[in-house]
Amino acid sequence: MIRNYFKIALRTLAKQLSLSLINMLGLSIGIACFSLFMLYAINEFSFDSFHKNANNTYLVVEGEGEPGPEPIYTSIPLGPAMKYELPGVENYVRYVQAYEQFIKIKDVGIRENLAYADPTFFNVFSFKFKYGNAQSAISDLHSMVLTEATAQRLFGKTNAIGESLQVKTFDVFETFIVTAIIKDPPSNSSFQFSMLANFDLVVNSMAKRVGANNWEGRSFMTFVQLKPGSTLASNNKILADFWHRHFPDKGRGGYDLEPIKKMHTNPALVGINIPPVDPKSIWILLTIAAGVLLIACINFTTLSIGRSASRAKEVGVRKVIGGTRKALLVQFLSESLLLAFFSTLISLVLVWLLFPSFNQLSGRDMSFSFGQFPQLTGLIVGLVLIVGFLSGCYPALVLSGFNTVDVLKAKIKLGGANFFTKTLVTFQFILSAALIVSAIIIIQQLRYIQSKDLGFSKENVLVVEAFGVSDTRRLFPLFKQDLSGYPGILGVTSADNGLGEHEGTGFTDFSYQQKSIKIKQFLIDPDYIPTLGMQIVAGRNFDWAIASDTVNAVIVNESMINELGWPLKDCIGRKLEGYDKYGAENPTVIGVVRDFNYEALTDRVQPILFHEFAPEWQHLTFFYVRLKPGDPSEALASVNSAWKKIASEYPLKYEFLDEDINRFYEAETRLGYIISWAGGIAIFLGCLGLLGLSALAVANRAKEISIRRVLGASVSTIIGLISKDFLKLVLVAIFIATPITWWLMNKWLQDYAYRINIEWWVFGISCIGIIGVAMLTICFQAIKAAISIPMKSLRTD
């Protein structure tokens, strides 16, 4: 019986080939779009869940119990102290996130992403070993673990155990031996590195500077693995007591344990190499994908209802010879499921073809793999069943419910114009209009923040990264002197921290008149402010000729004096009471710089402090070179030449400051592109539905159109006759979509400290575009009907 159902279904689909192809094309695109977004959501929500201890492993976060950013960096002795002092802690791992370091292989210098971790790393976290084992991986001080891809790239083979390489650890090159090779970390891992070394190297280096038991220095991530059944993660009292035991002089503060499975979806965590995502963004994308899939299902439903009468006599004959409604329901649902199955197969081919482009669009490196995403099997089966029943249930009920006598007396007319189908078509265009308008507003906001005056000049500034280079405070003057005479160079300066995404700034706090002041601080030279085009609004800049500037002077921004409660006209010469960093106690404010946006425009400018004093070990890690506008190739050649003179053994790495700043908005840019594509797909699918429905309307009114043509009706009259009903639906959809979209986008814009105003013309242009596309689709069928030969239709009717 089931075999018979599917044979009939195949014959029916073949008989109505054009409508079947429209249905399959629409469903395939909808399913492919939904599958891509679902894979992205699975990837984001499954971050770090592949570790065997994921359910009882936590990131230790230091906070103040208030809403806001949660710094992830902690001190060296924290991990051991938690294991030995707190009940329930089974193990700990201290981890330095991967950052670029210089390595040498056969005297050839290159940059690689090197991370450091305690030897317990591979006991707590589950990474698959290709060669070697967890026990000996980083047990020795100079042992090294490589990923499979890194081993192949560096040594031309994956089994590189026993090979040696040199790594510049702080100030000297040291030899390391490869002891293990692991498979490349999956895309849904927060730990992304090329090489991994023993954390004790970091401890030994820090011990020389600040001591191994210094609780104040915070540069590392600390993870703890709890014993099964432990409730420590939710026991705030024990964690608070532990905090106050080690920080008795501090008032507020404490530690929180963040589950590693939730790290990636907690936007409050700041400083992770792979920035956490906002779950709201993922749900927005899934909602969009579900909307596109729903539009595809609506197409199927409306077209199935529309072709009902072509199968009316079949239904009548089946009922006369004893066919039950249940049997008819099964037959029509079988056809729907078969169509959904074929559409899903086509969609999987589309997903496979589009996956590289989607990875680029989403900023991820996912693989279309059933091994990495075992949920794929359930997703595919679920899509076939859900789409098949969702899109075929109502048409099946309509078809199986036809009255036998009415059918055989030809009283059933072609459908497609009842209230239900009109509602579905209207809903399609509501979604389409909302997506198109949203995309335009997002792109407008992106252009606004990318073109906004940030308070400094970001264009034509080359940023040379000197991180890891020895003695940069001695080498920078040589670099600057070599470039000073070149006509294409307008200025050269340096700082210990960068501007832009992932560059970081020195964070600290101090107590001013019993008020805690959080600041970002930069070690700079006197050329920094003029080279980057910042504006002094009070006082003066640092002066090369004034020695005291390097000892006890600071420049602050407007937000800083506002936080301190100082009037601008009365702040120069005042002491910054309570500040005592790097040997400078209560430094004097000599200048105020206009607020500038060094972070994303989602936030207001925070207090900033510039200084020239610093300990000997603090390096200048960024060299800024301002170029003349125009072709930068000659200037870049000069920079490369100057770099080779001061650091020939280190490969030059640079980028342009404006590109670095724009990386703040990669997520918004991706969202804008994705919504634009989704809106375009939604319009395309909506037009496919209109094309099918207008074709059915033309077929339904073929005799009427022919008679009107014989009586002298013009082509334009016929077009208006066919188009007006569908045009009303599109106009109603736009009328409904406009206030809904305005409200949603206004909520989205509230996340930005600096934002655009939503203009009325955005809706006007979008509406005109949507109406134009819809009219072209409808007019195609209307013109085809209007110019057909009337007698042909009248003779065959």
User: Which range is most confident: 63-67, 399-403, 412-416?
Assistant: 399-403
The residue type at 671: L
* Residue 417 pLDDT: 47
Contact (CB, 8 A) for 695 and 781: yes
- Percentage of residues in the chain having pLDDT higher than 70: 79
* Residue 276 pLDDT: 80
Mean pLDDT of the chain: 79
Q: How many CB atoms lie within 10 A of CB 412?
A: 18
- Over residues 114-132, the pLDDT tens digits come to 899 999 999 999 999 999 8
Give the model's confidence band at 233: pLDDT under 50 very low, under 70 low, under 90 confident, else very high: confident
The domain segmentation of the chain, as residue ranges, is 2-43+279-449+666-796, 72-230, 461-664
Give the model's confidence band at 18: pLDDT under 50 very low, under 70 low, under 90 confident, else very high: low
* Residue 196 pLDDT: 93
- Over residues 633-643, the pLDDT tens digits come to 888 888 888 88
In three-state form (DSSP H/G/I as H, E/B as E, the rest C), the secondary structure along 460-492 is CEEEEECCCCCCHHHHHHHHHHHHHCCCCEEEE
Mean pLDDT value across residues 86-100: 89
Q: What are phi and psi of 753, to 5 degrees?
A: -70, -25
Contact (CB, 8 A) for 531 and 541: no
pLDDT of 256 > 80? The answer is: yes
- Over residues 508-566, the pLDDT tens digits come to 777 777 777 778 888 888 999 999 989 999 989 999 888 888 888 989 999 889 888 88
pLDDT of 187 > 80? The answer is: yes
703 vs 154, residue with greater confidence: 154
| Of the listed ranges 220-234, 245-259, 695-709, the one predicted with least confidence | 695-709
* Residue 312 pLDDT: 59
Q: With 0-12 CB in 10 A as exposed, 13-18 as middle and 19+ as buried, what is 711?
A: exposed
* Residue 415 pLDDT: 47
Q: Report, in this order, helix, strand and coil percent for the chain, each rounded to 5.
A: 50, 15, 30
pLDDT of 96 > 80? The answer is: yes
Vertex 214 angle, CA 208 and 216, to 5°: 125
- Over residues 718-748, the pLDDT tens digits come to 777 777 777 787 888 888 888 888 888 888 8
Q: How far apart are CA 462 and CA 498, in angstroms?
A: 12
In the chain, the largest separation of any two C-alpha atoms, in whole Å, equals 107
Give the model's confidence band at 416: pLDDT under 50 very low, under 70 low, under 90 confident, else very high: very low
- Over residues 681-707, the pLDDT tens digits come to 777 777 776 666 666 666 666 667 777
Burial 180-211 (b: 16+ CB within 10 A, else e): bbbebbbbbbbbbbbbbbbbbbbbeebeeeee
Mean pLDDT value across residues 652-666: 80
pLDDT of 7 > 70? The answer is: no
* Residue 206 pLDDT: 63
| Of the listed ranges 79-93, 139-153, 204-218, 671-685, the one predicted with least confidence | 204-218
- Over residues 570-579, the pLDDT tens digits come to 889 888 888 8
State the DSSP string of 606-637.
PPEEEES---TT----EEEEEEPSS--HHHHH
Q: What is the dihedral of CA 701, 703, 709, 713, to 10 degrees?
A: -40
pLDDT of 589 > 60? The answer is: yes
Mean pLDDT value across residues 369-387: 76
pLDDT of 414 > 50? The answer is: no
668 vs 635, residue with greater confidence: 635
